[in-house]
Amino acid sequence: MEVEIKKIQSVTNIHLDLLLLADPSIEKIKEYLIDSEIYTALINDETIGIIIIKEIDHLKKEIMNVAVKEEHQNKGLGKKLINFVINIEKNNGTKIIEIGTGNSSINQLLLYQKIGFRIASIERDFFSRNYQEVIIENGIICKDMIKLSIEYK
C-alpha cells in the first residue's frame, strides 16, 4: 500500500468531509483553513487523509485538524501524517508544535503521546463554550480542550 503525502492549496468537498470527522464545526474549519498549510495522504490517487497546520508565531505552529478516512483508520496513517509535518517543521526551525484535543478523545490522547507530544495545558469548558452541539465520545461529554506540545530547543 503506497501512501503519497502531497501539499495542496485549496480544499474540495472530499477534503471538507474528512476534516468534519475531526471537527464538527464547518465554520471553524473554514476559519482556520484561511492561513494554514494543508497536506493530504493519497492511495492510488484517492484522498484518504488530511492534516492542517497553522502558524501561531514564527517559532510556533499548531496542528488544527488531522483525519483519516474511516476504513483506513488504525493502519498507522494518522501517525504518518503527523510525523510528516513534524519533520518539515523541525527542518524549518519551528520550535514548538502544538495539537489540541478533547478530554473525551482517549485514542487521540494515546496517539499524540506515543508520537512524543506532552500535555502542556488544559482549557476548561472550551468545547462547552465554543460548540453549540454537545459532543459525546467514549461515553463522556467533551468539555475541556487538552493542549499537547512537542518542543525543540
Ligand X SMILES: CC(C)(COP(=O)(O)OP(=O)(O)OC[C@H]1O[C@@H](n2cnc3c(N)ncnc32)[C@H](O)[C@@H]1OP(=O)(O)O)[C@@H](O)C(=O)NCCC(=O)NCCS
**Residue 22: other Cβ atoms inside 10 A:** 19
Question: Of the candidates 87, 51, 85, which has an alpha carbon nearest to the alpha carbon of residue 66?
Answer: 51
- Shortest Cβ 153–ligand X spacing (Å): 26
The residue within the footprint of ligand X, chosen from 47, 94, 108, 149 (CB under 6 A), is 108
Q: Taking a C-beta distance cutoff of 8 angstroms, is the pair 64, 36 a contact?
A: yes
Out of 14, 26, 110, 136, which residue is the one contacting ligand X (CB under 6 A)? Answer: 110
Give CA–CA dist 71/115, Å, rounded: 22
Ranked by CB distance to ligand X, the top (closest) residue is 78
Instruction: Report the residue number, 84 or 88, with the smaller CB distance to ligand X.
Output: 84
Interface residue with ligand X among 33, 52, 53, 66 (CB under 6 A) is 66
| Burial of residue 101 (number of CB atoms within 10 Å: 0-12, 13-18, 19+) | buried
User: Which positions lie near ligand X, rule CB under 6 A?
Assistant: 21-22, 66-68, 73-79, 101, 105, 107-108, 110-111, 114
